[in-house]
Amino acid sequence: MDVSIVIPAYNEEKRIVKTLKKVVSFFDEKKLDYEVIVVSDGSRDKTCEVVEDFGSERVKVICVHQNHGKGFGVNRGVANAKGEKILFIDADNSTPIQQFCDLDQYTGEFEVVIGSRYLPDSKIKLKQPLVRIIGSRTGNLLIQAMILPGFSDTQCGFKLFTKDAAKRIFQRQTIWRWGFDMEILYIARKLGYKIKQVPVSWFNDERSKVQSFKTFLTTFSELIKIKVNVISGVYNLKGK
């Protein structure tokens, strides 16, 4: 199988069908062998039923009954993925699926290719509220200072991995909520994988479930946990 697309979802019954239609249409046109794995992480609405009724053999859903966090959903999807490349995206398709090609062109040289909203050629089509922008940029400065210097945007939900890299990285994951992105990138770097940052377009969805201050506190606490894990040697990082 060429590519697996992992979509973590929490209460996404109103948005997931639109995203699935775009993803399926795009990869059908590319004539690739692919699968779409939606992981419903404790959804309390009809996310599971909506995906099950979507009507494509390419799309399957994993229904987790208790909410653990976005990182858990991605982890579960990666564990079940069969593609030689594994892409995870947000359920709202905030970075258009067509940008898969922009990332995929680098997979011959880089094992991890990530979308970034904050590179010179990135395009944010609908900006976030000011408080979220401040929180995001402050958080990024802390992330760079503590564990990941040189990354302008660790949190963009559009990341592509080779299968081997994804399996080895995600099996070491310990963070299940918003901070998981920075953890997997730290692990990837320390395992010796080459990481490419690619500018992407990004559309802020005003229906986003991210709660700015609460999310910032959660992510900061997870950043501290990652730093403690690093000092304690939790990750078993011996290079690829």
Distance CA 39, CA 126 (A): 27
Distance (Å, rounded) from C-alpha 239 to C-alpha 191? 4
Residue 92 to residue 76: CA distance in whole angstroms: 19
6 sits in which H/E element: strand 3-9
pLDDT in single tens digits along all 240 residues of the chain: 999 999 999 999 999 999 999 999 999 999 999 999 999 999 999 999 999 999 999 999 999 999 999 999 999 999 999 999 999 999 999 999 999 999 999 999 999 999 999 999 999 876 556 656 666 667 778 888 888 999 989 999 999 999 999 999 999 999 999 899 999 999 999 999 999 999 999 987 665 555 566 777 888 899 999 999 999 888 877 655
Cβ atoms of residues 34 and 4 within 8 Å: yes
Q: Which pLDDT does position 164 carry in this prediction? A: 98
Residue 39 main-chain phi, psi, to 5 deg: -110, 105
The span from the CA of 237 to the CA of 185, in Å, is 13
pLDDT number for residue 145: 83
- What is the per-residue pLDDT for 143? 87
Pairing of strands 195-199, 112-116: parallel
| Per-domain residue ranges of the chain | 3-232
The string of DSSP letters for 61-87 reads EEEESS---HHHHHHHHHHH--SSEEE
User: What is the model's pLDDT at position 8?
Assistant: 98
- Tell me if the domain spanning 3-232 has CATH number 3.30.1330.40: no
pLDDT of residue 131: 59
Rg of the chain over Cα atoms, rounded to whole angstroms, equals 17
Beta carbons of 119 and 158 less than 8 angstroms apart:
no
